[in-house]
Amino acid sequence: MVKHSSRIELKQSAYKSNVNFIRKKIGEKPILSSVVKANAYGHGIESFVPMAEKCGINHFCVASSFEAEQVLSVCKPESQILIMGIIYEEDLEWAVAHDIAFFVYYFDRLPKALEAAKKVGKKAKIHLEVETGANRTGMNAKEFPKSIAYLKKNEDWLVFEGLCTHFGGAESFSNQFKIDRQHKKYKEFLRQCKEKKFMPQLRHIACSAAALAMKDTVYDLVRIGVAQYGFWPSPDIYFSHLHETNKKSDTSLKRIFSWKTDVMDIREVDKGEFIGYGTAFQATQKMTIAVLPLGYSNGYPRALSNRGQVLIRGKKAPIVGLINMNLFMVDISHIPGVQVGEEVVLIGRQNNNVINVSSFTNVTQLLNNEMLSRLPAAIPRTVVR
């Protein structure tokens, strides 16, 4: 295999520590489902899933049947997969055949699931997702009684594996009234199940923010995305944790991700010369410039032109000029002795310096999740200790 122009490393020890931290918050009993949609928030499903399994995770949530297939191709046979989003009708049989559970958010999906189950000769694992106030997917209250009746009637083929909902904005305490309302509506659905003496195996509503800051939202399973990757879901959730633990700061959640490349070329530039395209950067003195072999087509935001920094020999090297499609340049005048082929850290730590995802997202207005999840799947991901 020839080398790619950059690489991503996942730090297993940091991940393990995140899992332990989340586990402490939610208690021993609930299933900790790892949300690996969007290529594991950019971390790379292929490398991330086996690493998570080594850290004791055996349940994965994805956004589509396509992603479920990616997980299936790398996970242990005993690991569970749950599709929270799109699954096309023609893929229902495939899901059932592979014991993949899925959200059902309107009644008409149930007869189709039944049909698929009978055809495959296996039970379909159904998670009824109910509408509680987020108004994206979610079964409305009107269809619910008929849906549980249908599940009950067809118990031989349909498993009522889950009853779930998703909070629209548990990250921000200014939304608390809405989250409370959603939780209350969820309990109303649960009450109906109790009344019919037909309970789901797994009740689940908590995402990272809810699981970390709202203990009463932790039922039988939690769906944890952002926090397992070492990011606090929001300042609100971080400060609520500090308040709860009476601390001034906390490093329990650790970034597991680093992004690296190598110096491709080094050149001297005279005072007055322009660097790269256009006139975006003009050398104010004689400068030493390192050329790096990636650009915006590789996920490095163009908005960091003339603004971002990378690490070389543990020192910050500022970007000079525009981020090109496959190249950009950094100033290394203040870092003596740099050689072609030397390691460059784009995100992560080198010696005593660090570049955080947030230093990107502050400039680009992207969400951390957005920045990471957009990193091209083609960048190789490897697991390090």
Ligand X SMILES: *Cc1c(COP(=O)(O)O)cnc(C)c1O
Q: Is the dihedral of CA 206, 79, 202, 104 positive or negative?
A: positive
Contact criterion met (CB below 8 Å) for 182 and 134: yes
Cα radius of gyration (the chain): 24
Query: Residue 200, interface with ligand X (CB under 6 A)?
Result: no
The Cα 234–Cα 222 span in angstroms is 18
Q: How far is the CB of 209 from ligand X (least distance, A)?
A: 6
| Binding residue (CB under 6 A) for ligand X from 207, 237, 311, 330 | 207
Q: How far is the CB of 367 from ligand X (least distance, A)?
A: 11
Query: Residue 35, interface with ligand X (CB under 6 A)?
Result: yes
Q: Which one, 116 or 209, has the nearer CB to ligand X?
A: 209
152 is catalytic: no
Structure tokens at 26: 């939610």
Q: How far is the CB of 223 from ligand X (least distance, A)?
A: 4
**Residue count (the chain):** 385
The Cα 256–Cα 259 span in angstroms is 10
Write the binding mask 160 to 179 for ligand X: x where contact by CB under 6 A, - elsewhere: ------x-------------
Instruction: Give the rounded distance of the alpha carbon of 91 from its chain centre.
Output: 24
Residue 174: CB atoms within 10 A of its CB come to 9
Query: Residue 226, interface with ligand X (CB under 6 A)?
Result: yes
Query: Residue 11, interface with ligand X (CB under 6 A)?
Result: no
Query: Residue 19, interface with ligand X (CB under 6 A)?
Result: no
Structure tokens at 164: 């779930």
Residue 247: CB atoms within 10 A of its CB come to 11
Structure tokens at 292: 């790096």
Q: Which one, 227 or 317, has the nearer CB to ligand X?
A: 227
Residue 99, classed as helix, strand or coil, is coil
Q: Which of 142, 247, 277, 286 is catalytic?
A: 277
Q: Is the dihedral of CA 162, 164, 170, 176 positive or negative?
A: negative
Query: Residue 253, interface with ligand X (CB under 6 A)?
Result: no
Angle of the 45-54 helix axis to the 65-72 helix axis, nearest 10: 60
Query: Residue 208, interface with ligand X (CB under 6 A)?
Result: yes
| Cβ-closest position to ligand X | 225
Q: How far is the CB of 216 from ligand X (least distance, A)?
A: 17
The Cα 102–Cα 99 span in angstroms is 10
Write the binding mask 292 to 331 for ligand X: x where contact by CB under 6 A, - elsewhere: ----------------------------------------
- Collect all residues with Cβ–Cβ distance below 8 Å to 142 and sequence separation of at least 6: none
Q: How far is the CB of 167 from ligand X (least distance, A)?
A: 8
Interface with ligand X by CB under 6 A: which range of 145-153, 190-198, 220-228, 309-317?
220-228
Rounded to whole angstroms, what are the CA distances from 249 to 84, 235, 243?
34, 12, 10
Helices marked H in the chain: 12-26, 37-41, 45-54, 65-72, 92-97, 109-120, 144-153, 176-195, 208-213, 235-245, 357-364, 368-373
In degrees rounded to 5, what are phi and psi of residue 8?
Answer: -120, 135
Q: Which one, 64 or 359, has the nearer CB to ligand X?
A: 64
Write the binding mask 49 to 88 for ligand X: x where contact by CB under 6 A, - elsewhere: -----------------------------------x----
Query: Residue 36, interface with ligand X (CB under 6 A)?
Result: no
139 is in an annotated binding site: no
29 is catalytic: no
| Binding residue (CB under 6 A) for ligand X from 163, 224, 322, 355 | 224
Q: Which one, 43 or 223, has the nearer CB to ligand X?
A: 223
Interface with ligand X by CB under 6 A: which range of 113-121, 143-151, 204-212, 287-295?
204-212
- Collect all residues with Cβ–Cβ distance below 8 Å to 85 and sequence separation of at least 6: 37, 62, 63, 64, 103, 137
The Cα 205–Cα 210 span in angstroms is 8
136 is in an annotated binding site: yes
Interface with ligand X by CB under 6 A: which range of 14-22, 218-226, 243-251, 293-301?
218-226
Number of residues that bind ligand X (CB under 6 A): 13
Helices marked H in 254-376: 357-364, 368-373
Residues with active-site annotation = 37, 277
Task: List interacting residues with ligand X (CB under 6 A).
Answer: 35, 37, 84, 166, 207-209, 223-227, 233
* Residue list for the binding site: 136, 325
* Residue list for the binding site for substrate: 136, 325
